[in-house]
């Protein structure tokens, strides 16, 4: 492979994620940049795509395993590979408005609603670009924090908690996917958006294939490199937010049904847009409910983004429990219930855009998180099981949270129920915390609770669990993968020992 001045290679490095839950020894760390910095051009996109393809071809030819790495946000080891290459893409941050001339004649929307982001673009930068008074657009949903890259978001199925919206990948209208031999622009057959001339500017071939698109939506970094994502945005709005401590008797039925009739929410005449319920397991009758309503945003409103503000308890449970790291380890089991309750202080009538609401979170090493998606009607039973598992592991510094999303269109989207409750288990990374996470999975297995695990959080993945979660969708995904990566060398270079063991490199 010829020398590339905009590709930094460091041999024999170590890699760790932001939360410190994964550490691995690399053969080489590769950090790639666009040749022209600070300016977005289609010629630049085409050039970078070709350089990434050369890296993929080199890895396959040398039988080296390669993992794409975004902002290292995930708790899981999805982006790590021992003695392999880590390809860091977070500096690939071009973005584009879409013009009418690039649209397919059959497209049913408008150019103004579309936003093309290169893989390293973060949610924070996308929000800043979209939410101006001039552009007046917004994302439909995002995670609790805004530091993730757009490719990482769809690679792991980041979900948010917008009740009528799917996970982040549900707002994706097109994907540029790179393999060693192919540069593809992917869309759904029944939803044409961009024309072939647009794809050609990227150096890509337009393909409208439902199975391929659905496989690429949550791709796990195992189908190639997602180089760009086309997002379908919505009109700019604000979120009217509050956090209120309630009793389980008041809100329990809503947790299991999302029917808010009779629940003493702050705006009883409005339908919640976002809903999050946190339970500190030592007092399971108390529920800390964050509710957000979608309201109009004034035309001239100029958002103020509090980058570096730390965390907001109403969004970010890992950030909250991270404060326990400032407490001596021996005191954490005692302090955890008190601190969680103090930090979840009530507030009301906050009016912010999504970008202002889901602000920057400082990740802290020593925090661990897992999450399991379950059918809505299993929510209360899942909380009961979680409480029993907590009691069997006394002193675990953890909290539970229920978030909600609509079913993902992705083949391996973990929010696979219609609708889905996501049960988060977040805490300080201790043996007791990990025992709670695995104990919950084991109980779900034993009782036949349907579930799937968040790809970006700590996983207790086995071949049997994966098959129980996804059924024949695994076969469909592997079939797409074999067609997309026709040689075993290509498939192996984009796999991991975990994928090999659970049947995702078949």
Domain ranges in the chain are 237-461
Report whether 177 contacts 225 (CB < 8 A). yes
CA-based nearest residue to 193, from 232, 227, 219: 232
According to the 3-state scheme, what is the secondary structure of 126-154? Answer: HHHHHCCCCCCEECCCCCCCCCCEHHHHH
| Locus of tokens 């890895």 | 59
In whole angstroms, what is the distance from residue 406 CA to residue 36 CA?
39
In whole angstroms, what is the distance from residue 188 CA to residue 214 CA?
8
What b-and-e string marks burial along 214-245, b requiring 16 or more CB atoms within 10 Å of the CB? bbbbbbbbbbbbbbbbbbbbbebbbbbbbbbe
Pairing of strands 137-138, 205-208: unpaired
Q: Residue 115 half-sphere exposure, CB side, CA atoms within 13 Å?
A: 29
DSSP letter for 2, please. Answer: -
Report whether 292 contacts 240 (CB < 8 A). yes
CA-based nearest residue to 318, from 357, 365, 248, 374: 365
CA angle 438, 444, 446 (to 5 degrees): 105
Pairing of strands 66-69, 85-88: parallel
Written as six digits, the tokens of 180 are: 């060693």
| Locus of tokens 């939506």 | 217
Biggest CA–CA distance in the chain, Å, is: 67
Which residue ranges in the chain fall short of pLDDT 70?
A: 1-2, 307-316, 360-364
In angstroms, the Cα distances linking 75 to 23, 80, 155, 318, 371 are 11, 11, 14, 11, 11
CA-based nearest residue to 386, from 462, 278, 258: 278
In angstroms, the Cα distances linking 90 to 8, 172, 330, 334 are 13, 19, 38, 39
**Residue 333: how many other CB atoms lie within 10 Å:** 18
| Locus of tokens 């795509």 | 49
CA angle 107, 220, 234 (to 5 degrees): 35
What φ, ψ does residue 29 adopt, rounded to 5°?
Answer: -105, 125
Res 154: pLDDT:
87
Written as six digits, the tokens of 288 are: 């800390």
Report whether 431 contacts 193 (CB < 8 A). no
Taking the CA atoms of 478, 481, 486 and 492 in sequence, report the sign of the dihedral they define: negative
Report whether 26 contacts 14 (CB < 8 A). yes
In whole angstroms, what is the distance from residue 336 CA to residue 321 CA?
8
Res 307: pLDDT:
54
Report whether 142 contacts 305 (CB < 8 A). no
What b-and-e string marks burial along 252-290, b requiring 16 or more CB atoms within 10 Å of the CB? bbbbbebebeebebbeeeeebbbbbbbbbbbeeeebbbb
List all residues 6 or more positions away from 314 whose beta carbon is below 8 Å from its beta carbon: 241, 243, 276, 290, 344, 347
CA-based nearest residue to 358, from 166, 167, 139: 139
Fold of 237-461: Vanillyl-alcohol Oxidase; Chain A, domain 3 (3.40.462)
């Amino acid at each position: 492979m010829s020398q590339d001045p905009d590709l930094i290679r460091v041999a024999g490095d170590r890699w760790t994620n932001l939360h410190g839950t994964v550490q691995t020894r690399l053969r080489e760390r590769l950090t790639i940049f666009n040749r022209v910095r600070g300016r977005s051009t289609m010629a630049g996109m085409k050039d970078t795509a070709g350089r990434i393809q050369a890296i993929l071809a080199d890895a396959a030819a040398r039988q080296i395993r390669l993992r794409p790495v975004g902002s290292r946000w995930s708790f899981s080891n999805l982006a790590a590979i021992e003695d392999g290459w880590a390809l860091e893409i977070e500096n690939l941050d071009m973005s584009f408005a879409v013009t009418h001339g690039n649209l397919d004649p059959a497209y049913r929307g408008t150019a103004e609603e579309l936003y093309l982001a290169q893989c390293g673009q973060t949610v924070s930068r996308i929000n800043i670009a979209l939410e101006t008074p001039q552009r007046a657009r917004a994302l439909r949903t995002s995670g609790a924090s805004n530091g993730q890259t757009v490719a990482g978001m769809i690679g792991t199925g980041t979900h948010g908690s917008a009740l009528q919206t799917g996970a982040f990948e549900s707002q994706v209208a097109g994907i540029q996917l790179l393999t060693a031999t192919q540069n593809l622009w992917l869309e759904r057959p029944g939803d044409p958006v961009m024309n072939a001339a647009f794809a050609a500017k990227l150096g890509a071939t337009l393909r409208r294939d439902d199975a391929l698109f659905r496989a690429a939506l949550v791709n796990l970094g195992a189908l190639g490199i997602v180089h760009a994502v086309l997002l379908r945005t919505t009109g700019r709005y604000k979120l009217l937010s509050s956090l209120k401590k309630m009793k389980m008797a008041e809100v329990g039925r809503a947790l299991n049904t999302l029917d808010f009739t009779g629940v003493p929410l702050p705006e009883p005449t409005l339908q919640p847009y976002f809903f999050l319920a946190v339970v500190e397991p030592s007092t399971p009758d108390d529920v800390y409910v964050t509710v957000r309503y979608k309201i109009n945003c004034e035309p001239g409103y100029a958002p103020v983004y509090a980058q570096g503000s730390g965390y907001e308890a109403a969004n970010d449970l890992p950030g909250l429990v991270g404060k326990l790291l400032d407490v001596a380890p021996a005191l954490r089991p005692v302090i955890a219930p008190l601190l969680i309750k103090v930090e979840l202080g009530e507030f009301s009538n906050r009016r912010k855009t999504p970008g202002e609401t889901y602000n920057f979170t400082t990740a802290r090493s020593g925090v661990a998180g897992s999450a399991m998606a379950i059918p809505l009607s299993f929510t209360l039973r899942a909380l009961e099981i979680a409480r029993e598992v907590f009691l069997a592991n006394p002193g675990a510094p953890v909290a539970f949270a229920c978030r909600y999303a609509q079913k993902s269109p992705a083949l391996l989207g973990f929010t696979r129920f219609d609708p889905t409750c996501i049960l988060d288990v977040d805490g300080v990374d201790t043996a007791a915390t990990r025992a709670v996470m695995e104990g919950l999975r084991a109980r779900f297995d034993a009782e036949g609770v349907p579930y799937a695990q968040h790809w970006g959080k700590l996983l207790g993945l086995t071949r049997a669990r994966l098959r129980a979660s996804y059924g024949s969708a695994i076969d469909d995904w592997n079939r797409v993968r074999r067609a997309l990566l026709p040689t075993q060398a290509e498939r192996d270079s984009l796999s991991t020992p975990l994928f090999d063991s659970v049947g995702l490199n078949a």
